[in-house]
């Protein structure tokens, strides 16, 4: 079953969120410190991923064209609109809520990264769900920590995660048919590096250093494949 790993991943996020709710009542000062720790950890993780590739021009062009597409369709606004709708729907009367922030932040963290692509590809092509099972554990712990500071909204990230990974898993055999293994390995390197920079941006947002519209950069994770293909063709022409 191609979607077994994807379903387990969604379950892991749900379980982590539910456990995180038990720690949601902690002191606000402690929450702020925890959020700072999360932000710093996310930045370090992003930088380590960003060093996966030495094809800087591919990453730069991917972010450039990805930003143009993302701003054109304004993914960030659409994602925040969904979050705002959830906040209105589930917010308790007279209580402050950050459901929208929890949904958007968790969705970006869980979807941006190599495991979110390699995992469902391995599930779809080889029927091997080990990568997604591992990701489920990591996402579960991340959901737990995020929930302690961002609240119940984290659980709604299950929907985009399952949809995103599910589509990749279902179309994995087609992807494998059209691309060679050598190209695919280079793509994973460049996509990981590009995703790493998006994760750094998420970390900076968590620390309130800046407000980067990370969702509007998400198309770069797809565009990187096109840019890499053109880059390799140009290299062959001038070789």
Whether the pTM exceeds 0.95: the reply is no
Q: 153-209 pLDDT, tens per residue?
A: 899 999 989 998 898 888 877 776 777 778 888 888 888 888 889 888 888 888 888
The domain segmentation of the chain, as residue ranges, is 4-238
Does residue 93 surpass a pLDDT of 60?
no
Distance CA 111, CA 109 (A): 6
**Predicted pLDDT at 94:** 45
Q: 112-143 pLDDT, tens per residue?
A: 877 888 888 888 888 888 889 989 988 988 89
DSSP letter at 153?
G
Distance CA 20, CA 34 (A): 13
Confidence of residue 7 (pLDDT cuts 50, 70, 90): very high
The crossing angle, in degrees rounded to 10, of helices 181-206 and 220-238 is 140
């Amino acid at each position: 079953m191609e979607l077994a790993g994807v379903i387990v991943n969604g379950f892991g996020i749900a379980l982590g969120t539910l456990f995180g709710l038990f720690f949601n009542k902690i002191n606000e000062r402690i929450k702020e410190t925890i959020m700072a720790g999360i932000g710093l950890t996310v930045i370090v993780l992003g930088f380590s991923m960003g060093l996966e590739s030495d094809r800087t021009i591919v990453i730069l062009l991917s972010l450039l064209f990805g930003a143009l597409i993302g701003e054109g369709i304004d993914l960030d606004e659409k994602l925040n609109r969904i979050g705002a709708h959830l906040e209105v729907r589930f917010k308790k009367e007279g209580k402050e809520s950050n459901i929208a922030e929890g949904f958007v932040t968790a969705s970006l963290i869980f979807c941006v990264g190599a495991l979110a692509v390699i995992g469902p590809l391995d599930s779809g092509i080889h029927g091997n769900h080990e990568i997604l099972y591992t990701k489920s554990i990591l996402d579960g712990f991340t959901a737990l920590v995020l929930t302690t500071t961002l609240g119940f909204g984290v659980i709604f990230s299950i929907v985009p995660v399952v949809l995103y990974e599910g589509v990749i898993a279902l179309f994995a055999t087609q992807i494998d048919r059209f691309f060679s293994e050598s190209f695919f390995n280079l793509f994973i390197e460049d996509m990981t590096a590009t995703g790493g920079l998006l994760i750094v941006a998420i970390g900076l947002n968590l620390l309130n250093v800046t407000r980067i519209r990370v969702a509007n950069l998400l198309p770069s994770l797809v565009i990187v494949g096109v840019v890499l293909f053109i880059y390799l063709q140009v290299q062959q022409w001038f070789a």
